[in-house]
Amino acid sequence: MFDFFLYFFAFLFLLGILVVAHEFGHFFVARRCGIKVLRFSVGFGRTLWSRRFGRDQTELALCALPLGGYVRMLDERELEAGEHIDPKDLPRAFNRQNVRRRVAVVAAGPLLNLLLAFLLYWALFMMNNEALRPVLGAPLLDSPAAEAGIQNGDTVLAVNGRAVATLENFHWRLLKDASETGAENDALALTLRDAEGRVSERRLSVRRLAEANWEGDPFALLGLRVFQLPITPIIGVIESGSPADRAGLRAEDQILEVAAEGAANGTQIHYWPQFVDLIRRSANQPLAVTVRRADATFVFHVTPEDREGQGRLGAGVAKAEVDKVGSSALRVTVRYGVLEAAGRALSETWDKSVFSLVMLWRMVTGDVSWKNLSGPLMIADYAGKTASMGAAAYLKFMALVSIGLGILNLLPIPILDGGHLLYYALEIVKGSPVSERFAARGQRFGMAILLFLMIFALFNDVNRLL
């Protein structure tokens, strides 16, 4: 029950901040241009709360459906039944503004989402952030990482000559550079330092990402794994109602062996990460788990549940075993000064904006699977997960979604802000506004595209969650 409320309020707060930021962009610039704003609504549907403010008595409203919002401005083309415009307010109508002002008002919403992302990244870069070093584990067999010669304990120093300091940096640089490779250059240059301190360069082929249409975890597709600490496989916590709990596993059980149900031989388990890796690869597969409990040996039959394509048992390692090994050598504290943090925040916002556009275009051309498209259910899921990880992870996710919202709204699709900007561009070229008939057809076309994308994204979300 606690998880449900955490996920619900984390999603609601994230959505509220992004919607208010977007609509405030429209509202602020409209007011600066002298346009009369009638309503600032957070959400759609039935009004739950409203209040009027300012000299124009603008209505601030909170509505029942929180998936968006809008700013209604005085406009002669959008009068409701029984409404009329006071002649003295006509110069303040949106439709009577010159094209430069209309462009500014419409563009302000998505641009403020991008500005919000920049500010969030700026603040995060100035904080003390503890992160994992980019130390790799033994790669999966017959994978591009194994073919490249990557070894357990290799630390990534640079990707294509660009330095990386954390595992997150490495993951992002790998994604970005891999998305830009072509058929003639399908490998990334990794600068590595092995466990003995020797530095070398390896060529990591990323062709498998294109072959898989970028569907799935890029790290797993390339055979990359995070360095595995030699933690003794002793269970510390069992989640109530989980497969581990139903099977009878208990805290302080030491995992000795895992075998497929009915198999004569199993896999000997020496370290906890081995156990985790095996469970993740065994979703919905019946297993026989041999454990040592006190001075006796027992065999338990358990089937890991499928969670987003990976097996999950609901058992956690004993904290005392983690403390014995210690992971401080694998962690680094990253913090930047005000100016350097601003530069990195600008670069981060720009890179992720460009990456979003590139991946959207590659979806259109068929180079990237449409299964990568996510909707509100997955956003809610990740909002809850990142909120449970702490403020830094949650704010990073908020910045990422803010960029996605800004880029989406700038696409030249009628009904979105980008569609209106397209109309204004045509108006500038032809010297007069597009016809109402043309605009109406565009609105219907844009609505159809948006509806298709929403249904497809929800379909993907349900498939992932189930």
Copy the structure tokens of residue 85. Answer: 């415009």
Dist. CA 216–CA 244, nearest whole Å: 26
Cα 73 versus chain centre, distance: 33
Dist. CA 50–CA 147, nearest whole Å: 62
Dist. CA 407–CA 319, nearest whole Å: 42
Region of 57 please: left (phi>0), alpha (psi -120 to 50) or beta.
left
Closest CA relative to residue 17, chosen from 379, 413, 434: 379
Q: Which residues pair with 306 in a beta bridge?
A: 311
Three-state DSSP at 218 gives helix
Active-site residue, 23 included = yes
Burial of residue 410 (number of CB atoms within 10 Å: 0-12, 13-18, 19+): buried
Three-state DSSP at 69 gives strand
Rg of the chain (C-alpha set): 27
Dist. CA 305–CA 311, nearest whole Å: 5
Other residues' Cβ atoms within 10 Å of the Cβ of residue 406: 26
Dist. CA 103–CA 29, nearest whole Å: 10
Backbone φ and ψ of 413, nearest 5°: -110, 120
- The count of C-alpha atoms lying within 13 angstroms of the C-alpha of 210, restricted to the half-sphere facing its C-beta, is 17
Q: Which listed residue (23, 59, 215, 348) is catalytic?
A: 23
| Catalytic positions | 23
